Amino acid sequence: MTASPLNLTGSQPHRTPLYERHVALGGRIVDFGGWLLPQQYTSIRDEHFAVRKVAGLFDISHMGRLYVDGPAAEAELQRLFTNDIAKLEPGHALYTLMCKEDGGVIDDLVVYRQDRDRFVVVVNAANREKDVAWIREHLNPAVSMADRTAEVSLIAFQGPRAEELLPSGTTDTKAIPYFGFRPGELAGIPVLISRTGYTGEDGFELFIDAEHVGKAWDAILEAGTPAGVRPAGLGARDATRLEAALRLYGNDMDETVNPYEAGLGWTVKLGKGEFLGRSALVKVREEGPRRTLIGLKTDPGSILRHGAAVMGAGGRAGVVTSGTHSFFLGHPIALAMVEVPSFPVGDVVAVQVRGREAPAEVVKLPFYRGSARSAVAPAKS
Amino acid sequence: MADRRYTKSHEWLTVDGRNVTVGITDFAQSELGDVVFLDLPAPGRKLAVREAFGVVESVKAASDLYSPVAGSITAVNEKLAAHPELINSDPYGDGWILKIELSGELPSDLLDEAAYKQVAEA
């Protein structure tokens, strides 16, 4: 079945090219930042376990895909982003932040370098329009930027057995390093295969033309379902990323939060040269951030929800930024932004839960370390 | 099998003499999503009609549970502590929540299947 091209200038909510499939698979459709996507197909529990034990398949076509080209592209992106684009080799990707002059985070995103002058920037769906406007405003007009979100779709196949369970005939992925990517084929369709993801598991994000993504989706499910592969929705996506302590823009950070407060100082390369926000961030680095993100866990029955107050011995110390119940770990987990001095691992704080205070233990991050092949030692959070 | 009756707050009950079994409906579990925890009282506790007796918590939200009848609790489903997902997978069977010994009469405003269906679909 052919998908008609997305009309992203039309009224929301938008549907990805895979919408009909989500409905046919029993997906409970919700409006996620203006996009109709499945929260779950069968249950968050089943899908969460599928991702951690076998592999899950996510439609992430709502995320923005911006194609930036030109001989000045590297220099321009170097100025816009906190991480070091000059060090990014073709065929590799880089997680970075984009900040305002005052150091507040505009978005977190991944830059893929296709060759010396061609980049793909994948941004959060909720920030796509904001990011496009910001980049256009600050980009040298000699560098072109095309928003190809409507033409190119993105699906994520994540889990310890993802590589093993790709359909037969798929380009060999074993040599693709973590955060590396290369063009290839899946079910006879051209795809860009990237060893990246948002679950803490090994797996791939696949860039596929919108008109062919349905065929690729079907092929992956057909090949993998007998082994336990499942389509997975937003609920499983949020639970797995939180277990891996991966930040969610809008929850864990926004424009009032700087990278150091979000525990993402490792993405900021102050020594690389000038970039937007640099002088403000130098100051934060020197003085130390005033807040920091910590991990909390509670007993079942006390899910810590976004916005809940965190109380220490001296009174209110911070707020929960992300929280959910982890079916895989068997208890609720949360990230909280608290004032410095923070709490050492092992301390117990009190968090507002349904009108009472529940004890929550401060724990090390990540909550769970999956099969993702980290290239370097895990970042300090 | 005794006929099932329903409340507007999405509980169901079956009656066998003075013994009433209570749970939440399939519609309720579907709306809640995956149940992670139930906060339930101990056997022996006396309940009034429509008294809030506990909480069912899912990933999405926490909802109060209301007693459809007056009586005293004779049993609480012990399996739910370790397997709250029974509420989702078998809301009318293994996902039962309480057994109550009825005191007085059944309330006259309990809904039958057809009437509850209208409530759920409203």
Confidence of residue A185 (pLDDT cuts 50, 70, 90): very high
Co-location of A218 and A173 in the same domain: yes
Co-location of A168 and A21 in the same domain: yes
pLDDT at residue A149 is higher than 90: yes
Confidence of residue B89 (pLDDT cuts 50, 70, 90): very high
Q: What is the mean pLDDT of residues A356-360?
A: 94
Nearest residue in chain B measured CA to CA from A301: B37
CATH number of the domain within which B63 lies = 2.40.50.100
pLDDT at residue A332 is higher than 90: yes
Confidence of residue B2 (pLDDT cuts 50, 70, 90): low
- To which H or E segment does residue B63 belong? strand B62-66
A19, part of any domain: yes
A189, part of any domain: yes
CATH number of the domain within which A229 lies = 3.30.1360.120
Q: Do A45 and B85 touch (CB under 8 A)?
A: yes
Q: What is the mean pLDDT of residues A120-126?
A: 97
Co-location of A156 and A143 in the same domain: no
pLDDT value at position A34? 92
Last residue of a domain, one of A226, A243, A260: A243
Side-chain half-sphere CA neighbours of A87 within 13 A: 12
A169, part of any domain: yes
A261, part of any domain: no
Q: Determine what percent of chain A is predicted with pLDDT higher than 90.
A: 91
Is residue A306 within 8 A of residue A323, CB to CB? The reply is: yes
Domain count, chain B: 1
Confidence of residue B112 (pLDDT cuts 50, 70, 90): very high
Complex confidence, ipTM = 0.80
Higher confidence at residue A23 or residue B59?
A23
Q: What is the pLDDT of residues A283-310, one digit of tens each?
A: 999 999 999 999 999 998 889 999 999 9
Q: Do B36 and A327 touch (CB under 8 A)?
A: yes
pLDDT at residue A6 is higher than 80: no
pTM: 0.91
Co-location of A50 and A132 in the same domain: no
Confidence of residue A337 (pLDDT cuts 50, 70, 90): very high
Q: Tokens at residue B85, please?
A: 């997902």
pLDDT value at position A354? 84
Enumerate residues 39 to 98 of chain B having a beta carbon within 8 A of any beta carbon in chain A. 39, 55, 57, 59, 62, 85, 88
Show which residues on chain A lie within 8 Å of chain B, measured between beta carbons. Answer: 39-40, 43-45, 235, 239, 300-301, 303, 324-325, 327, 332, 354
pLDDT at residue A126 is higher than 90: yes
pLDDT at residue B1 is higher than 90: no
Co-location of A88 and A215 in the same domain: no
Angle of helix A234-243 relative to helix A44-53, nearest 10 degrees, comes to: 50
What residues pair up with B5 in beta bridges, in sequence order? B13
Q: Do B36 and A303 touch (CB under 8 A)?
A: yes
Residue B26 at interface with chain A, using a CB cutoff of 8 Å: no
pLDDT at residue A3 is higher than 70: no
Q: What is the mean pLDDT of residues A61-76?
A: 97
A348, part of any domain: no
Is residue A175 within 8 A of residue A89, CB to CB? The reply is: no
Give which of A63, A64, A67, A65 is closest to A144, Cα–Cα. A67
A367, part of any domain: no
- To which H or E segment does residue A52 belong? helix A44-53
**Chain B nearest C-alpha distance from A294 (Å):** 21
pLDDT value at position A4? 52
A92, part of any domain: yes
Co-location of A52 and A72 in the same domain: no
- To which H or E segment does residue A158 belong? strand A152-158
Co-location of A199 and A154 in the same domain: yes
Q: What is the mean pLDDT of residues B83-87?
A: 95
Please list every residue in chain A whose beta carbon sits closer than 8 Å to the beta carbon of residue B36: 300-301, 303, 325, 327, 332
Mean pLDDT over all residues of chain A?
A: 94
Last residue of a domain, one of A147, A182, A210: A147
Co-location of A218 and A181 in the same domain: yes
Co-location of A46 and A74 in the same domain: no
A111, part of any domain: yes
Domain count, chain A: 2
Confidence of residue B3 (pLDDT cuts 50, 70, 90): confident
Higher confidence at residue B42 or residue A3?
B42
Co-location of A186 and A160 in the same domain: yes
Last residue of a domain, one of A147, A180, A201: A147
Is residue A108 within 8 A of residue A95, CB to CB? The reply is: yes
Range of the domain at B53: 4-121
Confidence of residue A368 (pLDDT cuts 50, 70, 90): very high
Confidence of residue A5 (pLDDT cuts 50, 70, 90): low
Co-location of A96 and A233 in the same domain: no
Cα separation, A352 vs A176, whole angstroms? 45
Range of the domain at A159: 14-63+150-243
Mean pLDDT over all residues of chain B?
A: 94
- Judged on CB neighbours under 10 Å (0-12, 13-18, 19+), A193 is buried
Q: What is the mean pLDDT of residues A341-366?
A: 94
Co-location of A74 and A59 in the same domain: no
